[in-house]
Chain A
């Protein structure tokens, strides 16, 4: 994560966040790369150093948790204070003697809702747990269920959320408006992590999902960015192209994470299998880890739901002909995936991609010559003279 180390690195909006009093409930709302997660950690550190150390920073899932814990040391927030949302709930329930036998293990959404319900029941029967924490700081709050948000409000005296409606990848209904009615919103407009060309492509996809532009407020300040589309004739060709590109990128971007991502779990498994059979095998990070103690392991292989909140120098979005299978969430997921990259997004597909991605391709590629008029009419059948 691109950490700031110095207060002069902050812009006016970010300084407004730093200047907030230690008490109060807040939501930091801003586009990808606007520094929400960093601000959340800076606020956590600020609270710990003043007189409110009884807090937790909650991360949405394992890869993100892993990612932040690895970077979090820079801010002196103890790793023990940074938790995955679900494991924090589980620990709270266990510590208070709640049995957890009947959780729906194979449906994540149902499991999360059930857990939140149990915590709320616990709070009802155990009033001393109401507001037992000074503060809960929650990242990626746009993907929380209303029950979970309720848990946060009730467990802590104060809450501090970070989120972005555009990056919602799970539920189709947003909790953000309801949160905004209860807390003070601090809007972060400018963002710094994502290259302009990537913003341009993301905006096209985002427009189809009703989002406002991120190109307008982009202040990215690094190598020129690029979005490219490769239409392949087979999935193997996709793999070959990815391996070829990664080989160059590993050298071009030392010490940085590079991602290979497929739409679904089975796509991820296929990609992992293929890449592990290539020369790049030793450089691939273990399953579901976004970091490793081996500095050579820098290739993160995942499916689209496993990259939220993360950032990569380059991202290869492979097997994208299958993205339509993510149905009503697909545009927001594609949007989130594109905005994970700082410098390069490569989209690979065999056959066809949905119209909103084709539109993004048109926005970043030079126009193609118009086909001759006769080509637009149905062809005569082959063999007929």
Chain B
């Protein structure tokens, strides 16, 4: 069969909403794009553990401590599903981690911002996980089977995290003067970076059309961003707090909120490595990996010994 025929079968399947599975033929560019997108997501989960793990040892109550550990542990689990799903495309975890550690692979820039107060645990859950859910729910219908199935499970847990985050902020918003200040301060710091999580404006997002055709992206960056702003602008009222955007106003004609200009200069700078925590986050990942090298070697050496001995036993 010619490549053209294979490509036609492939695109017909996608158009008919039939999932592509690991052993199916697929264009190299589709495979490559997916590996990049999925591994970026996996890396984001793993790096994303750090800003929240930062508060586990300082969580204010035993219940909060337990739920925060469980949440960060869920993120490790998401990383695991996504690395495994990426492996089905022929790229192993070691190679992907190497790309992360050398800075070749990217992860979500949001995790390059610091977590300065307990309220940040709430703001991350509400805004950052909220924005992630907007991005990820459509991916439960992504064309690549292992990816879509991983996303179903991830989205369920993420929406739980989002509710937890909102509840942290709600508790603070009903608390003391200092707690309300903490709550507003966290919203002020996390709002714009969260709005930026949807990526560049549609006219500056060159790969989007192809990804839409492949159904590994189902809504444009600006569509998703608008939806996020609309939802958040309403939810913040429940908290009795405000979003730090003087231009945020309901537009009756559009039936959407208008919002202010995004600081793209900051966006690109954080991507380039100039964010407040880029260096620390990556160093923490590299350190964990390097400090763990002897552990992984020992586990391998022991596993080999055990399998050698079991072979010996079988022969005897």
A binds B: no
Task: Show the binding face of B for A, using Cβ within 8 Å.
Answer: none
Task: Show the binding face of A for B, using Cβ within 8 Å.
Answer: none
